[in-house]
Amino acid sequence: MTTSLTEDAARFAADLSFKDIPDDVVRIARRCMVDGLGVMLAGSRHDALAVAECYLQKIGGSPAARVVGHPNLHVTAPQAAFWNGLSGHAMDWDDTQLAEGPNRPYGLLTHPTIPPLAAVMAISEMLGGVSGEALLTAFVAGVEVECKIAEAINPDHYNLGFHTSGTIGTFGAAVAAAKLIGLDVQGIRAAIGGAASMAAGIRANFGTMGKPMHVGRSAENGVTAALLVKEGFTFNDEALDGKWGYLSVAGRGGDPDLVLGRFGQPFVLVSPGISIKPYPCGVLTHPSMDLMKAVMKENALTPEDIESVTLLAANNILHPIRYRIATTELEGKFCMAFLLSSMILRGRAGKEEFTDAFVRSPQVQAMQRRVRTQFDREIEMMGQDRILSRIEVLTTDGRRISRMSDNRYRGGPEHPMSDAELEEKFLDCAQGVLSPATSRKLMDLVWQVERLESSTALLDLASA
């Protein structure tokens, strides 16, 4: 009989085999891995990774693992996990977990894929390669445990300032790494204990390199916890539970009953599902960005037609998206004025738009000052189970245009990106990092990852 959340999570992960994973979960896991590797490739050219390369070369370490997006960097497994996690979140283009419990803010639980994916890519390298089935099984175990813990913890964890992808992501990475190196139930419980003492990240660092570093550290710390346990290091084996457990210490408690006995029943990847991002910024902004694009197109507006734009929304959008005017691309990810300006000026927001040069350009700086946000109590009263907003446009010729966003947003489980759209995103992410032929070959391998004899085939291409 289950006695604790820690035990339940560890037993699920230890017992999970590839044959236990339903076909629809395998299919979605492949999609998450395609997307995750793609955003790692895109992020590998971010300024934060140039800093990280200098840091890793100076501290050194045994060259046990290759990394995604760099042909010459060979580092320790924890360091490889750090690099992969940092690059995977550098552009804020990685997928997001949806909430299902009461009072859980929509889209604000965690970015589920990158911490466990970064961990298994690093551990598989250290092991000299593992089967595709083993890689995918460990990844699924990590995602499931990570998301269920994020669901169980009190929403105050995020609302009061923790960055869940850095904190709860550590548990996903630890479980995925522990599973891949063959720890048993007791070993995985201990690895969760180690993760609990290293899980960190605060939202004050949003808009800086510190935000993606949270995810890099979550992957690194999860791998470290698993490897320490493998060598005999001890940790508390009830570290999620009780008065001094992580849920109480970092979240004013929680509600383990929401998830106890439900690991894999159903898998989070299927229900409530995962959102794959069309834009490299917070998912809370995406419906408003699509709405701005639609208003421009449907009314045949040009940038010169825009006198002013007002975005009306609830605090679930306005609090995290906190910069009034962006002056860097990192700030731009949390600045509605920039995000809507990008849609007004270019009708898109991708790799080319998320650059300091574009954010600082005179036309963007001028357009941002025509865009403002406003709290709307009616939208607030609709609840936080959807990402709702309204856009009001005043044109230079005096027209007033108002439109509300749709409950179904692009990328969410109710309106998912097609496989073709996902492939287009992957190839965009890989552009300038891998050759077109290598990008296509890598993507095709991930689509059939469970058939691989050795995971080394992925890094042979992804590190090229």
How distant, in Å, are the alpha carbons of 73, 138, 149 from that of 175? 26, 8, 12
For residue 107, pLDDT beyond 70: no
**Residue whose entry in the numeric block shows the structure tokens 């050795």:** 454
Residues of the chain with CATH 3.30.1330.120: 283-404
Point out the least confidently predicted range of 24-38, 116-130, 177-191, 251-265: 251-265
How distant, in Å, are the alpha carbons of 110, 263, 274, 413, 426 from that of 267? 16, 7, 11, 14, 25
Q: What's the rounded mean pLDDT across residues 78-105?
A: 90
- Antiparallel, parallel or unpaired: β 65-67 and 70-75: antiparallel
For residue 385, pLDDT beyond 70: no
Looking at the DSSP bridge assignments, the partners of residue 393 are: 309, 401
pLDDT of residue 108: 61
For residue 408, pLDDT beyond 80: no
SS3 percent helix, strand, coil of the chain, rounded to 5, is 55, 10, 35
pTM, entire model: 0.91
For residue 312, pLDDT beyond 90: yes
pLDDT of residue 137: 98
For residue 452, pLDDT beyond 60: yes
**Whole-number percent of the chain with pLDDT over 70:** 98
d(CA 356, CA 182): 44
For residue 2, pLDDT beyond 60: no
* Amino acid in the structure at residue 23: D
d(CA 190, CA 182): 13
pLDDT of residue 413: 86
Q: Which CATH class is domain 283-404?
A: alpha beta
Q: What's the rounded mean pLDDT across residues 198-221?
A: 96
For residue 391, pLDDT beyond 90: yes
Q: Tally the residues of the chain.
A: 464
Which pLDDT tens digit goes with each residue over 150-181? 999 998 999 899 999 999 999 999 999 999 99
pLDDT of residue 409: 78
All residues at 6 or more sequence positions from 383 whose CB lies less than 8 Å from its CB, including other chains = none
**Residue whose entry in the numeric block shows the structure tokens 């849609």:** 343
For residue 1, pLDDT beyond 60: no
pLDDT of residue 352: 87
CATH code for the domain defined by 5-276+416-462: 1.10.4100.10
Residues of the chain with CATH 1.10.4100.10: 5-276+416-462
Helix (H), strand (E), coil (C) string for 254-295: ECHHHCCCCCCCCCCHHHHHEECCCCCCCHHHHHHHHHHHHH
pLDDT bracket for residue 330 (50, 70, 90) = confident
pLDDT bracket for residue 372 (50, 70, 90) = very high
Q: What's the rounded mean pLDDT across residues 345-367?
A: 95
Which pLDDT tens digit goes with each residue over 14-45? 999 999 999 999 999 999 999 999 999 999 99
pLDDT of residue 55: 97
Looking at the DSSP bridge assignments, the partners of residue 400 are: 394
- Please check whether residue 16 is in contact with residue 137, taking contact to mean a CB–CB distance below 8 angstroms: yes
- Antiparallel, parallel or unpaired: β 389-395 and 306-313: antiparallel
The answer for 226, left when phi > 0, alpha when psi is -120 to 50, beta otherwise, is alpha
Which residue would you say has higher pLDDT here, 2 or 442?
442
| Element housing 126 (H / E) | helix 114-126
Q: What's the rounded mean pLDDT across residues 231-248?
A: 96
Q: What's the rounded mean pLDDT across residues 424-448?
A: 96
How distant, in Å, are the alpha carbons of 2, 5, 249 from that of 8? 6, 5, 20
How distant, in Å, are the alpha carbons of 226, 327, 352, 419, 422 from that of 427? 33, 28, 14, 12, 9
Crossing angle of helices 164-180/210-230, nearest 10°?
30
Q: What's the rounded mean pLDDT across residues 332-348?
A: 96
For residue 104, pLDDT beyond 80: no
Which residue would you say has higher pLDDT here, 252 or 56?
56
For residue 251, pLDDT beyond 90: no
Which residue would you say has higher pLDDT here, 351 or 355?
355
For residue 64, pLDDT beyond 80: yes
pLDDT of residue 17: 98
How distant, in Å, are the alpha carbons of 193, 384, 408 from that of 379? 41, 9, 16
Half-sphere exposure of 454 (CA within 13 A, CB side): 10
Q: What's the rounded mean pLDDT across residues 206-231?
A: 97
For residue 360, pLDDT beyond 70: yes
Point out the least confidently predicted range of 11-15, 144-148, 327-331, 419-423: 327-331
| Element housing 392 (H / E) | strand 389-395
Q: What's the rounded mean pLDDT across residues 274-297?
A: 93
pLDDT of residue 319: 86
Long-range contacts of 415-424 (CB under 8 A, 24+ apart): 416/276, 417/276, 417/278, 419/31, 421/278, 422/31, 422/34, 422/35, 422/276, 423/34
